[in-house]
């Protein structure tokens, strides 16, 4: 069996071989990611449910475990209604445009040392570029729907995402200065040492701002004005139904996981063990594969996403803009100066 496979593989031309390997790698990333998205929605309903003294889904499958599968099936069966006044082509392109970058960005994410699809040098830049493309999906969806609610949602989200992109970009520049590299693997390796060597400590304000900007970027509460349930019903995807709606949903949750993973990589040392440098514990936890730490850190941020949603009221649109421009951008710029100074002076622990 194995021999037969090897002979067949040898016949395949070299270029096709690489292509197949890359495709398999992509499947190996996207398939678990989609499963994660499905179960993130389940986790959200369960966790928020328990925060709100209720149970969350319990009926489909044992303890409700099949709920996300049932939801997906239901949405697949539904008709995709295309409003007669809409611009049909754009209307259908928009969901794809928001999901594609959310998935593509995962190419540059290192799950552990060396375990990355594309180990590109400008990884950070690539991710920043792709997450910005996602906003076009939202804007086009709002525009193509030809509905006032959707249009308001699109306008809000365009303004919001563009302005938080700046704060987010500056926060990333801080990481870039501190690590001296745009490669995500190198950024993690620059944090090697111990828990206090991770960038969350020297870049604390940037860390907080990055996470909050990430909330805004993914349109999550308390920054969910683009779909503000009680104001503009569902915002930009008010006219979408069935799978087209589900794709927006997938994109939102894939983006959430992406932001959480990036926060873990850039500020909490990615796959590095939190017990590094601690005499006894380091040895005791040697057996844990590094990817587990990475996933645990990502889950921590994802939990915060859900926690905030259960706790906070929603900002008003103009207040979000004020927060972004008048608070976050000045703070990030000021902290960039400090970090720059620290790098020049080669301040120990982090920058020596």
Partner 1 sequence: MPEIRNYTMNFGPQHPAAHGVLRLVLEMDGEVIQRADPHIGLLHRATEKLAESKPYNQSIGYMDRLDYVSMMCSEHAYVMAIEKLAGLEVPIRGQYIRVMFDEITRILNHLMWIGTHALDIGAMTVFLYAFREREDLMDCYEAVSGARMHATYYRPGGVYRDLPDAMPKYEASKWRNDTTVNRLNEARQGSMLDFIEDFTTRFPACVDEYETLLTDNRIWKQRTVGIAVVTPERAVQLGFTGPMLRGSGVEWDLRRKQPYECYSDLDFDIPIGVEGDCYDRYLVRIEEMRQSNRIVRQCIDWLRVNPGPVKIDDGKYVPPSRENMKGDMEALIHHFKLFTEGYCLPEGEVYVGIEAPKGEFGIHIVSDGANKPYRLKIRAPGFTHLAAMDEMTRGHMLADVVAVIGTQDIVFGEVDR
Binding site for partner 1 (CB under 8 A): 51-54, 148-149, 152, 156, 221-222, 224-225, 228-233, 309-319
Residue 126 or 328: which CB sits closer to partner 1? 328
Q: How far is the CB of 155 from partner 1 (least distance, A)?
A: 8
Alpha-helical runs (H) found in 202-328 = 204-217, 229-232, 242-267, 279-284, 290-311, 317-322
Instruction: Show the tokens assigned to 126.
Output: 């690539």
Q: Which H helix or E strand runs over 3?
A: helix 2-11
Q: How far is the CB of 115 from partner 1 (least distance, A)?
A: 38
Residue 141 or 221: which CB sits closer to partner 1? 221
Residue 39 or 308: which CB sits closer to partner 1? 308
Residue in this structure with the two tokens 């020596």, named with its chain if needed: 352
Instruction: Show the tokens assigned to 70.
Output: 């049932």
Is-cis flag, bond preceding 222, omega within 30?
yes
Residue 245 or 317: which CB sits closer to partner 1? 317
Q: How far is the CB of 262 from partner 1 (least distance, A)?
A: 25
Instruction: Show the tokens assigned to 47.
Output: 């966790």
Vertex 258 angle, CA 187 and 152, to 5°: 130
Residue 192 or 229: which CB sits closer to partner 1? 229
Q: How far is the CB of 138 from partner 1 (least distance, A)?
A: 17
What is the Cα–Cα distance from 34 to 30, expressed in whole angstroms?
6
What is the Cα–Cα distance from 33 to 12, expressed in whole angstroms?
29
Q: How far is the CB of 323 from partner 1 (least distance, A)?
A: 9
Residue 103 or 320: which CB sits closer to partner 1? 320
Q: What burial class does residue 194 get, using C-beta atoms within 10 Å of its C-beta: 0-12 exposed, 13-18 middle, 19+ buried?
A: middle
Q: How far is the CB of 51 from partner 1 (least distance, A)?
A: 6
Beta-bridge mates of residue 115: 112
């Amino acid at each position: 069996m194995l021999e037969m496979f090897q002979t067949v593989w040898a016949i395949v031309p070299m270029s096709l071989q690489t292509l197949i390997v890359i495709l398999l790698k992509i499947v190996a990333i996207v398939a678990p990611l989609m499963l994660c998205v499905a179960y993130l929605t389940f986790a959200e309903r369960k966790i928020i449910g328990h925060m709100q003294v209720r149970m969350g889904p319990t009926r489909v499958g044992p303890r409700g475990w099949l709920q996300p599968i049932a939801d997906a099936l239901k949405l697949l069966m539904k008709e995709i209604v295309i409003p007669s006044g809409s611009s049909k082509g754009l209307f259908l392109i928009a969901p794809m445009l928001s999901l594609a970058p959310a998935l593509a960005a995962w190419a540059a994410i290192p799950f552990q040392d060396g375990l990355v699809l594309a180990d590109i040098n400008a990884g950070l830049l690539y991710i920043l570029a792709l997450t910005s493309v996602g906003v076009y999906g939202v804007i086009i969806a709002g525009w193509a729907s030809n509905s006032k609610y959707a249009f308001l949602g699109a306008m809000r989200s365009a303004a919001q995402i563009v302005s938080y992109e700046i704060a987010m970009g500056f926060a990333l520049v801080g990481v870039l200065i501190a690590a001296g590299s745009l490669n995500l693997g190198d950024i993690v390796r620059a944090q090697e040492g111990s828990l206090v060597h991770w960038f969350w400590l020297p870049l604390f304000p940037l860390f907080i701002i990055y996470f909050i900007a990430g909330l805004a970027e993914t349109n999550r509460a308390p920054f969910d004005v683009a779909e503000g349930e009680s104001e503009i019903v569902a915002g930009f995807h008010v006219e979408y139904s069935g799978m087209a709606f589900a794709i927006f949903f997938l994109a939102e949750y894939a983006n959430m996981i992406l932001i959480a993973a990036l926060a873990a990589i850039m500020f909490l040392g990615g796959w590095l063990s939190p017990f590094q440098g601690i005499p006894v514990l380091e040895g005791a936890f040697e057996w844990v594969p590094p990817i587990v730490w990475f996933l645990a850190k990502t889950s921590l941020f994802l939990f915060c996403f859900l926690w905030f949603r259960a706790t906070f009221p929603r900002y008003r649109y103009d207040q979000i803009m004020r927060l972004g421009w008048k608070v976050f951008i000045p703070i990030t710029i000021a902290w960039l100066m400090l970090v720059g100074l620290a790098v020049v002076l080669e301040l120990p622990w982090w920058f020596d």
